[in-house]
Chains A and B, each alone.
Chain A
Amino acid sequence: MNEDTILLAHGSGGKLSHDLVQQTLVPLLSNPLLDRLDDCAVFDLSGRLAFTTDSYVVSPIFFPGGDIGKLAVCGTVNDLAMSGARPLYLTLSFVIEEGFALGGLKQIVASIREAAAEAGVKVVAGDTKVVNRGGADGIFINTSGIGLVPHGVDISGANARPGDKVILSGPVGDHGVAVMSRRQGLEFSVPVDSDCAPLNHLVAEMLGASPNIHCLRDPTRGGLVSSLNELAQQSGVGIRIEEARVPVREAVQAACELLGFDPLYVANEGKLVAVVAPEDAERVLAAMKGNRYGAQAAIIGEVTAQHPGRVVMKTLLGASRLLDMLVGELLPRIC
C-alpha cells in the first residue's frame, strides 16, 4: 500500500479518515470552533448575514500564483466581500480522487491556511470524501462562507444609477492566462501569475472611504465584460467604458493576441469592479490605490441612461462597439 497517496479508505469514515482529519487537516486549520470536531460548528452571530457557496474544479490544480486551495478560500471570501460583508467563517469540503498525492493535498491545505489567515476567516467545519479513480479530476473543493454586512451598507448589482462611475481595481486577465498557460497542449510559458487574492480588506477600506458604494462585482469567469453586462442588466442601465483606460498587463495582452482571446473576457480571481456615485469616486479610488490589491485601480467608465442593459466601449480609435456577454467557452482561433 502506498502511504503517500489518498486511498478510498481515507474517505470511509474509519481509521484512515480519522487520521487524515486529525493529522493533516485540523492541525493546519486549527481554531477553537474547528478543534471541537463536533458535527457542526456552533457560534453566536447577530446582524445582517451574508451567506454564499462555491465549488472549485480548476485544472490544473496548481498554477502560477496559486492553487485550488487558495482559490477556494479567495473565491468564497470575495463573493462575501462583494456584498460588502466582513467574511467570518468558512466550511471546507473535499472530493478527492483515489490515488491523489498526499503531498499535494498537504500543499493545498497549507495554501488554504495561508489564504484564510490573510483574509482573517476561520475554517470551522469540513468534510472529506474519496471517490474511485476517474470519479473526479484529482480534487474538487467546495467552500461555503458566512459574513456580516456592516450597518448602512447596501450593495447590490441592481443599484447602479446613471452618472455613477465605474472603477476597476487593476489589470484584467491574469488568472485566466496563468491557468491557460499551464493547460496541456500549450507550448508556451507566460510570465504571468494568477491574481488570486482575498479582496475583503480592500473592500473594507473602500467602505471606509464611502459606505455608499452602489455595486461591487468580482469579474471571475466571463471576465470584466460579463460582470459589466450583469450590472447593466440588473440595474436596467447602460454602461460606457473606454478601452484606453482598462489596464491590461503586457504579457497578458501578448498571450491573448497569440491565442485569439480578448483580455476583457478572460477570468480574474483578485479583481473587482465598483460602481459608485460620482461625488464619491475619487475618494474610493484613492482608498483602493492605498491597498496592494487596488494599487493600479482606475476609473474606466460610467453608467448611462442610454442603451439600458448594454455595455458599450469607446475604442482606442474613438469609435464605439458593443461589449456583449461571453458565449460558450473561450476557444483558440485557427488562423
Chain B
Amino acid sequence: MRYVDEYRDPELGKRLVDRIHKLSTRPARIMEFCGGHTVTIFKHGIRQLLPPTVEMLSGPGCPVCVTANAELDKAIALAKEPGVILATFGDMLKVPGSRSSLQQAKAEGGDIRVVYSTRDALAMARDNPDKRVVFLGIGFETTAPTVAASVLQAEAEAIHNYFVLPLHKLCPPVIKALLDSGEVRLDGLICPGHVSAVIGSRPWGFIPTGYGIGCVVSGFEPLDILLSVEMLVAQVERGEPKVEIAYRRGVKPEGNPQALRLMATVFEESQATWRGIGTVPQSGLKLREKYRSFDAEAQFQIDPGPTLEPAGCLCGDILRAVKTPLDCKLFRRVCTPEHPVGPCMVSSEGSCAAYYQYGADHE
C-alpha cells in the first residue's frame, strides 16, 4: 500500500537500526509524547532493536488517558439527561469515571452513540430535532478543528439542538508543564505527528531553546519512528538540540493555517485539568462567548457529584513517565482491558494497553 509499505520496509528498517547503533555513543533518553507513537513502537517491537544507550519513555499523549475523572463524570451525567443523545468517539465508552462509565450509562438506558466524526454527530442533530445532541469534544489539536468546523456548520444551518462538551487539550503547554516539574530528565522528544500537522513544528521551538532538549516531529510508521530516533541521537551526539521534522509528508513548519483559523474562530485557550498532571494554564480550549449557545457546559445544569480516583492506579504517574505499567501492582492482575481500572488500559493508545496488548513483558 502506498505511503504505508515503504515506511514498513524491513531492509530500510534494518539499515536505520544499524545507523542508530553506529551513531549512538552517549546515553539518550527519548520520550515519545504521543500514544499513537507508543503503539507503533510496541507493535513493531522497536525498543528491542535499539542499542542500550537509547532509552525510550512513553509520554502523556493519549487524549482519552489524560481526560480527568471530573470531566468524564460530567459526560456520564450529561448522557443520563432526558432527551439527550451523547455522541462520542468509541474510545471513550469503556473509560471508568468516578462511579460509572459511558458504557455502563448506555446499558442503563442513556442514549450514547459512537460516531466517527463530528459530521455524524451533526447529522444526528439534524435527524433528531426533538433531541439535544451533545458531542463529547475529546482530543488534542488534531480533533479540535473538526469540532470547530461542526460548530460553525451548526451555526450556518441554524441547528439549535447541537452542543459540544469542550474537553480539548493542547500539547505544547503540557509538555512545558512536564519539563518544568523536573520529574523526568530527557535528551530528546519525539513530537506528535498529527498535532504538528495542525500547529506546525514551530510551537516546539521553546523545548531546545529553553530546555536544551532536541525535538523531532515523527510520523506513525515504524520507519518514521526509527528515522526520528536516528535524528535525535545525532542531535545528542553533536550536542545541538533543535526542532526537526521527520514527517515531511504530513507536517509543515507553519502547520495547517485553515485548521488553525477554524480553531481560533470558535475556541479560546483556557486552563485545563489533566489526569496525573493536574491543572495547567492555557492548556485547554473553551468555546468563545459568541458560540456559548453551543456550549454544553453553559447550556446544561450538570451535577456529576464528587470525584473519586481509583485506589492503587498508577495512570497519573505513568502519564508523567515517572513510572511504567510494569511498576503498577494492578497491571495484568486486577487491571486488564476487560476490567480496566484506569484509562491507560482502555484507550488503544494508552501505555498500559500497549504494554498489555503487545506483551512488553513476554520474553
Contact = CB atoms under 8 A, between A and B. Distances in A.
A and B are partners in one complex rather than unrelated chains: yes
Contact of B49 (A307, A310, A317, A324): A317
B138 to A, nearest CB: 6
A331 B91 CA distance: 6
A187 B119 contact: yes
Contacts of B191: none
Interface of B: 1, 4, 8-10, 13-14, 17, 36, 42-46, 48-49, 63-64, 89-94, 113-117, 119-120, 138-140, 142-143, 194, 222, 336-338, 348-349, 356-359, 362-363
B143 A335 contact: yes
Interface string A236-258: 00000000100000100110010
A328 B94 contact: yes
* A interface secondary structure, majority: loop
Interface in A282-335: 307, 310, 312, 315-322, 324, 327-328, 331-335
A333 B34 CA distance: 14
Contact of B44 (A185, A187, A307, A321): A321
A297 to B, nearest CB: 22
Given A319-B45, A335-B139, A335-B349, 8 more contacts: A187-B119, A317-B10, A318-B13, A321-B42, A333-B90, A334-B89, A334-B139, A335-B63
Contact of A244 (B10, B48, B93, B194): B10
A191 interface: no
B358 A334 contact: no
B91 A185 contact: no
Contact of A317 (B140, B222, B363): B222
B143 A250 contact: no
Contact of A318 (B10, B43, B194): B10
A324 B143 contact: no
Contacts of A312: 359, 362
Residue from A257, A310, A315 whose CB has the most chain B CB atoms within 10 Å: A315
22 contacts: A185-B120, A244-B10, A253-B4, A260-B348, A317-B8, A317-B14, A317-B17, A317-B46, A318-B14, A319-B45, A321-B45, A321-B359, A327-B337, A328-B338, A331-B90, A331-B114, A332-B89, A332-B114, A333-B90, A333-B91, A334-B90, A334-B138
A186 interface: yes
Given A324-B359, A333-B349, A315 B91 contact: no
A322 B362 contact: yes
Contacts of B359: 310, 312, 321-322, 324
A185 B14 contact: no
A185 B14 CA distance: 41
A328 B337 contact: yes
B147 to A, nearest CB: 12
Given A260-B348, A316-B44, A335-B63, A185 B114 contact: yes
A317 B45 CA distance: 8
A316 B356 CA distance: 20
A332 B46 CA distance: 24
Contact of A316 (B8, B42, B338): B8
Is the interface on chain A under 10, 10 to 19, 20 to 34, or 35 or more residues?
20 to 34
Closest 4 CB pairs of A and B: A322-B359, A319-B45, A331-B90, A334-B89
Candidate in B4, B36, B359 with the most chain A CB atoms within 10 angstroms = B359
A250 B1 CA distance: 6
B337 A319 contact: no
B47 to A, nearest CB: 8
A322 B363 CA distance: 9
Contacts of A333: 89-91, 348-349
B54 to A, nearest CB: 14
A332 B91 CA distance: 7
A253 B94 contact: no
Contacts of A332: 89-91, 114, 116
Contacts of B362: 307, 310, 312, 321-322
A232 B214 CA distance: 44
A211 B222 CA distance: 42
B10 A327 contact: no
Nearest to B223: A317
A74 B320 CA distance: 50
Nearest to A310: B362
Contacts of A253: 1, 4
Given A310-B362, A316-B10, A317-B44, A187 B117 contact: yes
A282 to B, nearest CB: 25
A334 B91 contact: yes
A335 B142 contact: yes
A322 B358 contact: yes
Interface string A247-285: 000100110010010000000000000000000000000
Nearest to A248: B1
A335 B169 CA distance: 13
Contacts of A324: 356-359
Contacts of A257: 1, 4
Nearest to A254: B1
Given A312-B362, A317-B44, A321-B359, A334 B114 contact: no
B256 to A, nearest CB: 15
Contacts of A307: 362
Nearest to A331: B90
